[in-house]
A and B are shown apart, each in its own frame.
Chain A
Amino acid sequence: MFLHKNRFAAISEIKRDFLFNNETSALFPVLNEIISFIRVHLPSRSHDGKISNCKQILIELLTNAVKHSGTKSTVLSVSIMDNKIEIGKSDTGRQFYLDNYTGWPPITWPISKRYIGEKIRIYEDDISDLYAIIQNENQIVFELQEYPVQKLRSDSNLLEHYGLLILTKMSDEFIYAYDPAICSNLFKVVIALDY
Chain B
Amino acid sequence: MNRIMIETVQHSNYLEVKLLISEANLDIAEQFKSEMLQLLNRGNNYIIVNFQNVIYVDSSFLGALVSVLKHAMGKKGDLAVAELNKDIGNLFNLIRMNKVFKVYNSIPDVFA
Contacts and interface: CB of A to CB of B under 8 A. Distances in A.
A56 B87 CA distance: 8
B32 interface: no
Contacts of A127: 96, 100
A107 B86 CA distance: 41
Interface residues of B, number: 28
B35 interface: no
Given A53-B90, A55-B87, A146-B96, A162 B63 contact: yes
Interface in A113-164: 127, 146, 149, 152-154, 156, 158-163
Query: For chain A, which range describes its interface: under 10, 10 to 19, 20 to 34, or 35 or more residues?
Result: 20 to 34
B25 A63 contact: yes
Nearest to B65: A160
Interface string B61-83: 01110110110011010000000
Contact of B59 (A53, A55, A162): A162
Interface in A19-56: 24, 27-28, 31, 49, 52-53, 55-56
A166 B70 CA distance: 20
Contacts of B100: 127, 149, 152, 158
A80 to B, nearest CB: 19
B95 interface: yes
A17 interface: no
B90 A56 contact: yes
B6 to A, nearest CB: 19
A98 interface: no
Interface of A: 24, 27-28, 31, 49, 52-53, 55-56, 59-60, 63, 66-67, 127, 146, 149, 152-154, 156, 158-163, 165-166, 169-170
Which are the 4 A-B pairs with shortest beta-carbon distances? A160-B63, A162-B59, A154-B73, A149-B99
30 contacts: A24-B23, A27-B23, A28-B55, A28-B56, A52-B86, A53-B90, A55-B56, A56-B56, A56-B87, A59-B25, A60-B59, A63-B58, A63-B60, A66-B26, A67-B60, A127-B100, A146-B96, A152-B100, A154-B70, A158-B70, A158-B100, A160-B63, A160-B66, A161-B59, A162-B62, A163-B58, A163-B59, A163-B60, A165-B95, A170-B91
